[in-house]
Each structure stands twice: as structure tokens, then as C-alpha cells.
Structure 1
Amino acid sequence: MTQRSMQPLQGATLLALSALLFSGMGVLISIASATVNNENIVFFRNLVGVVFFLPLLLAKGLRPFKTKRIKSHLLRTSYGLAAMYCFFYAIAHMPLADAMVFTYSAPVFTPIIAYFWLKEPLTKRMLVFSLLGLLGVILVAKPSDALFGSLSLVGLAASLLAATAFVSIREMSDTEPAYRMVFYFALFSSLISAVPLSWAWQPLSSEQLILLCSAGLLAALAQIVMSRAYTLAPPGLIGPVAYLAIVFAGVFSLILWGEVPDLNSIIGAALIFSASLLSVFWRKR
């Protein structure tokens, strides 16, 4: 048993990298979702994560993956997979801009959950920076009035579940390395998501398989980097850095589809960058 690490600068840097990888994954899933159903997308996203570890399994066997915390891994998988399905449901039934607000609002809840679960410090500054980043997300996403409809409860549940999953990573970080947490998440998620796939399977073309496998690979890398980030610093402290994902998504939209951001989007991006930097450097100073 070791103490949980406290390296906010390194953790924030890795979390920013994971946000970039998750944004790239989001672009691939967005393209694939035009012709592939959610059940297939979720399954392949997780299955590729298991395949990602095959070289390590062949080289080292099961020894690196031995754990005494199967229950913790199952709980983390339950939170993360439930959040994933809620996010996909919100995207399918709400305007995309509204769903994006919920997708990126999890950092608001992480410091509160971490305080009650792990007894990690909760300061007004953490909450202010989290809300500042969320304000930036709203300016970028430009949600509609549907944001306050009944379906918003699904999006809210997704955010709470995702935040709980982030904190659970931190909770296991005293004994579990990042790669082991990602392996069990991918393994259990693949087994669980295979159940709805049994009645929702659809034949896939080679182009669709390439998209899904590429998205799964980026997801596996992003999960490893994110898990490592949360082992280095409390999620409540570096959480606002995760908002950078929506900025990276905007950059991808500009490069790939020529979508030029308006003034509100630029102001929102500036707020997100400010919240991300202040959350780390203000405390460090």
C-alpha cells in the first residue's frame, strides 16, 4: 500500500493529452455513428482496449494483471459503462450542443465526490474554476432550450457517473497502476456490452471496422493517459483541464470541416484555458 501521489503539473499535462486523444476518438465515432448503431460502437470501443493489451499478455502472462481489488474494478466499470450509455443516449435524443454540455460537465462534480468519498480537500477555488470551465463549454456548445427538458436528467446522470468513475480511479491509485485499471475496464466493459450486441448486431464494412478500431485504439490510449493523470493528482484539482476536450474538438472541426468558431466560441475557449491553467498553477504558486 502506497500513498496517493500529489503531482498536479504532471497530472494536468497528462489529462490535457488524454483530452486530445478523446477528442480524436470523438471525431471517429461521430463519423461512424452515421451508419453504425450505438451497441456496436460501445462494444468495439471496449473490445479494442482488450486487444491492445495482448502483446503484454503474451510477453508477461497474467502476472502484471493480478489484483486483489476486483470489486473496485467492477465498480469502476459499472460507473464508466453506465455513463457511456447515458452519453450515447443523450447524443441520440438531444440536440448535439446540449449533449456536449453534459458530456463535459463531469469536472464540476469530481471535487465534490472526491471530498465525500476520499476526504480530499474541497475549496471554493476548485468549484469556481470548475464552474468557469463549464461556462466556457456552454459558450462553445451554445445549448438550446431543450437543455432544461426531462431528457436532461439522462445527461446529468451521465455526468455524475463519469465523475464517480474518475474519482474511483483516484481511489484505486494507491495500489493499481494505470494499465491494470484500463485493462479491467476494457475487459469487463466488453463482456457487459456484448449482451445488448446479441440482439443489435449489424454487419460492418471494412471502412466501418477501420473507423471503430481506430476509435477504440485512441480510447485505450486516452484511458491509460487519463488514469495515470488521476493517479498523480486529485481529480478535483486538475479536473478543469478535461474541459480542453471541447476546444480540441473545435480545432478538429475547423481542420476537417472548415467550421469557423464565432466570438462566443473564442471567449468560451479562453475561459476553458484560463480555468485549466489557474486550477493548477494558482495552487502550485
Structure 2
Amino acid sequence: MRSVKPLQGALLLALSALLFAFMGAGIREISGSVNNESIVFFRNLIGVLFFLPMILVSGIQPLKTVHLKSHLWRATYGLAAMYCFFYAIAHLPLADAMLFTYSAPLFTPFIARWWLKEPLTRRMLLTSVLGLIGVLLVAKPSDALLDTQALIGLAASILAAFAFVSIREMSNTEPTFRIVFYFALCSTLIAAVPLSWAWQPLDNHQLGMLLGIGLLATVSQIIMSKAYALAPPGQIGPVAYLAIVFAGLIAWWLWGEVPDVLSVSGALLIFAAGLLSISRR
């Protein structure tokens, strides 16, 4: 029986959140000179290159799959979410963009109900509605309902929720490393298409930044996986929300961004919904 180590798991998850926040700051910093198509492509390319040592040692046998169609759907949803998320980072306050990302689980029960026919309990409905109110506070509805940037941030949340449900569908037959590998591979190949007409010359500083962003994202995911191997999400899940706090502090330090009352209120509601949802079992 695997031992549970909540303290070590929480510390690793906090480190993962910090790295994810730095990745967001890196995207914000470079988005002024590098287009979204290039950022998304290199983010996924680094993920593929990360698997090369394993392929050289173990060969391609562990990566063989009979569920290529499912991997393609997961990559489609995840890649679309990534385009929207990176756009939101470039055009919204960094903490707000992070909030949209972490609100994705609020949409998951509705999608899982429709897609996988999973039950939707009253508690799940309550936590999702509570979190959605928080999302609306962050998005700040206007006379035009929502502006473009907020709509794209909201789209990132919904698309990420579809990606989460697709992972759940595959998790009974596909190991995590194979899901991550095919997501990176398929996303890189698909992202190469828009890059073919949006390509721009990159200098050494920009290439270094893109390499750093890809490494931060990949290492953050690996550390997060290790954290959840040490302790269940119900015990340490709320620690992941530190990414929003870290992002807010980094944005304040680098660009003087200060969240307004609505954003803080929305963040508290999303955090409360997250606490309720992970404790539902």
C-alpha cells in the first residue's frame, strides 16, 4: 500500500504552482514581441523533446496506443484552451488570467454529465454555481455582456474542462505519461499549421525565453504529478490555488498590477468552490 505524505505532497504542489506562475509571467513578458502562435508551438515542442531521453532508453514500445482518435480529441481541446489561455495572459491582468485557468474544474461536472453520463449531485451543482459567480466577478460583465479578452479567458476555462473530461475517459486504458506525450506530440503538429503563416524571426533572447517557458510548464506538470502521487487531491488540492497568489505577487512586482475588489471577491468564491468540490467525497 502506497504511503501518504501530505506535507511533502503539499510542498511539491506549492513548488509546481510557483513554477506555473513564473511560466505565466514569462508568457506575459514575451507576448509583446512574439506572437501567440509561436509561443504555443514552442511550449509544446519542448514537451515532446522532454520525452526523447525516455524514447532513446526504452524505445517506442511504451508509447504505442490503439486510442489515437481519443488522443487527437484531447489534444484538440487542450490546444484550443492553450491558445485562449496564452492570449488571456497577454491581454488580462496576470492573476485574472490564472483565475480563468483554475476555474476550469467548475465546468467539468456539467460536461462529464453530458459526455460520460456521470451523475450531477446537488452538492456538485452548488459548488459549480458558486464558482461560476466568482468567474463572472473576475470577467466583469459590461453593457456588451463581456469584452473580448474576458470571453477568450472564459473559453479557455470551458475548453480545458473538455480536455479534463477527455483525460478521464482515457485514464482507464492509457497511462499518464502516454497521455502527456501524445498531447505534446499532437499539439506540436497541429500548432505547426498556423505557425506556417504566422512565423516570425526570433533572436537568441526570444528563443531562450520560449525554452524557459516550455521547461517551466513541463517541470511544473511533472512536479504536480509527483505531488498527487504522495497525497490525494482531497488533502492537498487547495495548495494549487497558490499559483493565483504567486501570479498576483509577480505581476505586482514586475508591472504594478493590483487586483480590484471584484477580482478578489471572485477569487475567494472560486477558491471556496474548489474547497467544497474536492471535499465532496
TM-score normalized with structure 2 length = 0.77
- Give the superposition deviation at 1:15: 7.4
Distance 2:87 2:61 in 1: 38
Residue 145 (1) aligns with residue 150 (2):
no
* Equivalent residue letter for 2:199: W
The 5 A counterparts of 1:1-285 are 19-88=17-86, 100=97, 102-137=100-135, 139=137, 141=138, 143=140, 145=142, 148-149=145-146, 151=148, 154-224=152-222, 245-257=243-255, 259=257, 266-281=264-279, 283-284=280-281
Aligned residues: 271
Distance 1:214 1:202 in 2: 19
Distance 2:57 2:31 in 1: 35
Distance 1:97 1:170 in 2: 29
Distance 1:136 1:255 in 2: 25
* Equivalent residue letter for 1:54: L
* Equivalent residue letter for 1:69: H
Change in 2 beyond 3 A, CA 1:58/1:113: same
Distance 2:161 2:26 in 1: 24
Change in 2 beyond 3 A, CA 1:78/1:192: same
Distance 1:254 1:129 in 2: 30
Change in 2 beyond 3 A, CA 1:208/1:146: farther
Answer yes or no: is the 8 Å Cα contact 2:95–2:245 preserved in 1: no
Distance 1:266 1:69 in 2: 42
* Equivalent residue letter for 1:116: W
User: Greater CA deviation, 30-39 or 244-253?
Assistant: 244-253
- Give the superposition deviation at 1:124: 2.4
- Give the superposition deviation at 1:60: 0.9
Change in 2 beyond 3 A, CA 1:40/1:227: same
Change in 2 beyond 3 A, CA 1:182/1:231: farther
TM-score normalized with structure 1 length = 0.76
Aligned partner of 1:3 in structure 2 is none
Distance 1:183 1:193 in 2: 15
Change in 2 beyond 3 A, CA 1:64/1:30: same
CA root-mean-square deviation: 3.9
Change in 2 beyond 3 A, CA 1:26/1:131: farther
Distance 2:128 2:82 in 1: 21
Answer yes or no: is the 8 Å Cα contact 1:97–1:143 preserved in 2: no
Distance 1:280 1:80 in 2: 22
Deviations 1:20-60 (A, max 9, x none): 44322211111110111111111101100001111111111
User: Greater CA deviation, 219-228 or 45-54?
Assistant: 219-228
- Give the superposition deviation at 1:19: 4.7
Deviations 1:226-267 (A, max 9, x none): 6789999xx9xx998866543332132244445455655555
Distance 2:258 2:93 in 1: 17
Q: Which runs of 5+ in 2 are unaligned?
A: none
* Equivalent residue letter for 1:183: F
Residue 145 of structure 1 aligns to a residue in which SS?
Answer: coil
Distance 2:145 2:77 in 1: 24
Distance 1:148 1:83 in 2: 21
- Give the superposition deviation at 1:66: 1.4
Answer yes or no: is the 8 Å Cα contact 1:98–1:147 preserved in 2: no
